[in-house]
Amino acid sequence: MTTIRTICCLGAGYVGGPTMSVIADRCPDIQVHVVDINERRIAAWNDDDLVKLPVYEPGLAEVVGRARGRNLHFSTDVNAAIAMADMVFLSVNTPTKTRGIGAGQASDLRWIELCARQVAEHAQGHTIVVEKSTLPVRTAETVQAILGSNTQGRSFVVLSNPEFLAEGTAIADLEQPDRVLIGGEDAAAREALASVYGRWVPRERILFTNLWSSELSKLTANAYLAQRISSINSIAALCEATGADVNEVARAIGSDSRIGSKFLKSGPGYGGSCFQKDILNLVYLCRHYRLETVARYWESVVEINTWQQERIAQLVVSRLFGTVTGKRLAVLGFAFKANTNDTRETPAIRICQALLEEGARLAIHDPKVDPDTIASDLGCASSDADGGWQFCPEVAAAAAGADALIILTEWDAYASLDWAALAMVMRHPAWLFDARGLADLEAARAAGLKVWRVGLGDPSLVLAA
Ligand code: NAD
Ligand code: UDX
């Protein structure tokens, strides 16, 4: 078996940074070099002030604090790190293509290909190359072809080891994973990688498959998770129309051990960098293999997600007498979920853009997202004009003079807001739109707010109708 002494990871993003930090923390005898072409990102990973790490994850600062400088190193010297490594992880971005063949669906593999070429050029001796990025099935073939074209006495093995961490719980997910998946045929390489994880992951949780099953399992896991969210969101709309309550329905169906209770929380639709991209990629692969009906099945998961966001924006407008032009609306939460500063594909983007389009003045609050990110996501600088947005560091300031509070991210702090104090500074009639179902509705109603909550129908109204 190859003994791993030095690891290099290309890509110091949301996956590469936390994953390698945990590996370094758990394997003090392995030198781990995390490299990136983004100098600002690497500088932030090296910042003395651990609060300034480029990724916000509960527990991450402690892990980095223990390992950095000891056996965890962040640098922009990609080639040197590749040359030193026994094992190279590819953890670079694989976004949806925006142009050319497969635009809007297929993964853009240019960064993966560039990395493979860099490894082919700079690796020394025997190198195990590990696909950590989420990739279309059979990408390992491409990586192998690039590595194989330039061996010059060196040797390479490619493994697939997709990452299942969720943002906001990344450290817990990495430290206690449900499973670690390793795809590949080379027994020695598989064992070398398993022995890294084996330092802290029970052996029975390390699964081995062939390369293609491993690549496809990652896309499938994300498609299944996203499908559960679209399913419950579709039922939420039916609850609102019929007087049922989606939380009660979720509890009732989730108690069936065959269905299970996780991923049944209705909300403004899923966001994040993975679900949409990975399902679209799956759809593209199905079409590539001429499985049109299968492609359409998975495509509908994305359609429901988009529809849910549009539906929420429309119902806000409709409850506010059909117009929000010039009205101040407080948006609570911009991140795609709580406990992260990540806004990629956050439902807040589509919902805010729709409200801005209607001429609303948005007062946006988020405890972790900075205003520059919001400006870039919304495609416009902040302004106090109609159809403009402003960032408010405090909820109370966002609520001042607002006709509505719209909860889009389930930050804990939003569950225990002082509704009476907020209602006092709002313009009435004032609304609470709770797209995450976390507020105490009775308290909000008692404070004089009108209330809409995702998936909550009004049984009496339906009976009267
Ligand atoms: P990211 O955009 O946060 O990070 C990728 C990094 O790779 C960037 O910092 C970029 O500068 C760097 N990079 C690009 N080309 C490079 C090169 N040639 N050399 C060195 N660095 C290079 O992306 P991410 O969220 O960390 O995701 C990475 C992969 O992991 C994607 O395939 C994604 O689908 C997958 N994934 C993401 C998550 C998640 O929660 N974010 C979870 C599981 C899997
Ligand atoms: C997801 C997968 O969970 C993870 O395994 C994979 O590695 C990367 O993609 P992530 O996107 O970080 O992780 O977060 P996740 O917790 O899955 O949430 C995704 C979106 O779904 C968020 O917008 C979240 O708010 C939403 N969601 C999740 C719901 O609306 N309801 C739920 O019940 C669960």
- What's the gap in Å between 397 CA and the centre of ligand 1? 36
Q: Which of 274, 286, 352, 392 is catalytic?
A: 274
Which residue, of 184, 209, 234, is where some domain finishes? Answer: 209
- What's the gap in Å between 304 CA and the centre of ligand 1? 27
Q: Is residue 275 part of a domain?
A: yes
**115 and 203 part of one domain:** yes
**281 and 421 part of one domain:** yes
The pLDDT value given to residue 465: 53
The pLDDT value given to residue 365: 98
| Contact of 292 with 284, CB cutoff 8 Å | no
Q: Is residue 1 part of a domain?
A: no
Question: Which residues are CB-contacts of 261 (< 8 A; sequence separation ≥ 6)?
Answer: 250, 251, 254, 255
**33 and 85 part of one domain:** yes
The pLDDT value given to residue 464: 57
Which residue, of 160, 179, 209, is where some domain finishes? Answer: 209
The total of structural domains in the chain comes to 2
Q: Is residue 298 part of a domain?
A: yes
Instruction: Determine the atom of ligand 1 nearest the C-alpha atom of 135.
Output: 32
**309 and 342 part of one domain:** yes
**302 and 373 part of one domain:** yes
Q: Is residue 358 part of a domain?
A: yes
The pLDDT value given to residue 225: 98
Mutate to test the pocket of ligand 2, among 270, 340, 345, 454 (most ligand atoms within 8 A of CB): 270
**247 and 334 part of one domain:** yes
Measured distance between the N- and C-terminal CA atoms of the chain, rounded to whole angstroms: 72
**308 and 448 part of one domain:** yes
Which residues form the pocket of ligand 2, taking CB atoms under 6 Å from any ligand atom?
163-167, 222, 225, 229, 263-265, 267, 270-272, 274-275, 336-337
Q: Is residue 271 part of a domain?
A: yes
Q: Which of 132, 218, 265, 277 is catalytic?
A: 218
The pLDDT value given to residue 459: 76
Rounded to two decimals, the pTM is 0.95
List the domain range (segments joined by +) for residue 194.
Answer: 6-209
Q: Which of 9, 115, 131, 163 is catalytic?
A: 163
**323 and 345 part of one domain:** yes
- Report mean pLDDT in 10-residue bins for the chain, 465 residues: 92 97 98 98 97 93 97 98 98 94 92 96 97 94 90 93 96 98 97 98 98 96 98 98 97 98 98 96 96 98 98 98 98 96 96 98 97 98 97 98 98 96 98 97 97 91 60
Q: Which residue, judged by its Cα, is nearest atom 10 of ligand 1?
A: 11
**303 and 335 part of one domain:** yes
Give residue 201's region: left, alpha or beta (phi > 0; psi -120 to 50): beta
The pLDDT value given to residue 460: 72
The pLDDT value given to residue 1: 66
Query: Does the active-site annotation cover 218?
Result: yes
Query: Does the active-site annotation cover 163?
Result: yes
Q: The CATH number of the domain where 371 resides is what?
A: 3.40.50.720
Q: In the chain, what is the greatest distance between 2 CA atoms, to the nearest angstrom?
A: 81
> How distant, in Å, are the alpha carbons of 93, 226, 262 from that of 265?
28, 11, 8
Q: Is residue 266 part of a domain?
A: yes
**141 and 259 part of one domain:** no
Q: Is residue 290 part of a domain?
A: yes
Query: Does the active-site annotation cover 394?
Result: no
Which residue, of 168, 193, 209, is where some domain finishes? Answer: 209
Q: Is residue 238 part of a domain?
A: yes
**275 and 327 part of one domain:** yes
The pLDDT value given to residue 217: 97
Q: Cα angle vertex 67, ends 62, 69, to 5°?
A: 125
**134 and 265 part of one domain:** no
